[in-house]
Amino acid sequence: MVATVEVSCAWCKGTFSARIADRKRGWAKFCSKSCKAKKQEKRTGQNAVFHERREERRDTEYVGDEILDGMSDMDFGASDGGGYEHYI
């Protein structure tokens, strides 16, 4: 039998039963993982996350084009040479 205590979620204020041992460790502050994620998102700052995502997307697009150019050339050469060699 695990000793539990009724606590209210640090995000949605909903009550849930948490293990007393966990509470002593400073855990079990949220009723669910999504509440924890939302709370952490607010703490790190929506704005920071937004800017970070924009940076990430721009980098990916740039790198993506580079890779696409290189790959299409390589694909063309590979299918041309390798393919014929195999059949002949």
Residue ranges in contact with Zn ion by CB under 5 A: 9, 11-12, 14, 31, 35
Show Cβ contacts of residue 23 under 8 Å, excluding neighbours closer than 6 positions: 5, 7
> In terms of CB distance, is 42 or 57 closer to Zn ion?
42
CB 30: neighbour CB atoms within 10 A? 21
* Structure tokens given for 31: 């009723």
CB of 10 to Zn ion, least distance (A): 8
The two structure tokens encoding residue 49:
């996350």
Our CB check for Zn ion shows the closer of 14 and 77 to be: 14
Choose between 4 and 12: whose C-beta lies nearer to Zn ion: 12
